[in-house]
Amino acid sequence: MGRQLQQAGSGCSQCKGKDISWDHLKRLYESDKGKASCLSMAHKLKHEHIYLNSFSKMRVDLASQVLSNSVSMALMLVLGDEASETSLFASMFNRLFDMLNVSHFTNGTRHRNPDLYPNRHGNDHRLKWLEDFIQFLDEWKHSVENREGFSKAEKNLMLLSHETRVRLRIT
């Protein structure tokens, strides 16, 4: 998923008229690098997170660190409203990763994160959130499809792959 955001390039993908852009992450990293760790807004971001090669594009650990709540908040603090959709994208995928990465029934308590609890019943509030997440993906797809001046191939690069979107729905 980070690969698709990175492929979208600088300012290409949009949702609700605002960019979802790898350039926002680059700018955050560049503004933060060299600062002491206690002053760093995006302490998780390193060179390998931003300047990807063909191997690093496949590393889930890098994607989960880039698409994290701390990066989402840093985007809003450093870049403000300009990066609001990129920030939302990161926080939405952070929450999805947490919900899908439940490995033990005590993780929610241990990490103080309710999204890490296992789903034990059909009326879990997180199921509603997952429906909202699918709606977010649909809105993103609709926004890209309605952009003018781009070929179908260019628009496809602005989105998660069709296969990824289908698998997220199944999940």
Facing residues of 15 across strands? 18
Q: What percent of the chain has pLDDT over 90?
A: 40
Q: How far is residue 13's CA from residue 27's CA, in Å, rounded to a whole number?
A: 16
Instruction: For 32-66, write each residue's pLDDT tens digit.
Output: 887 766 677 888 899 999 999 999 989 999 999 99
Q: Map tokens 């929610």 to a residue.
A: 108
Among 38, 60, 133, smallest CA distance to 92 is for: 133
How many independent structural domains does the chain possess? 1
Among 2, 9, 48, smallest CA distance to 154 is for: 9
Q: What percent of the chain has pLDDT over 70?
A: 88
Q: For the chain, what is the largest distance between any 2 Cα atoms, rounded to a whole number of angstroms? A: 50
pTM given for the model: 0.81
Among 143, 149, 165, smallest CA distance to 15 is for: 143
What domain range is 33 assigned to? 2-170
60 class by beta-carbon count within 10 Å (0-12 exposed, 13-18 middle, 19+ buried): exposed
Instruction: For 142-156, write each residue's pLDDT tens digit.
Output: 989 988 888 998 888
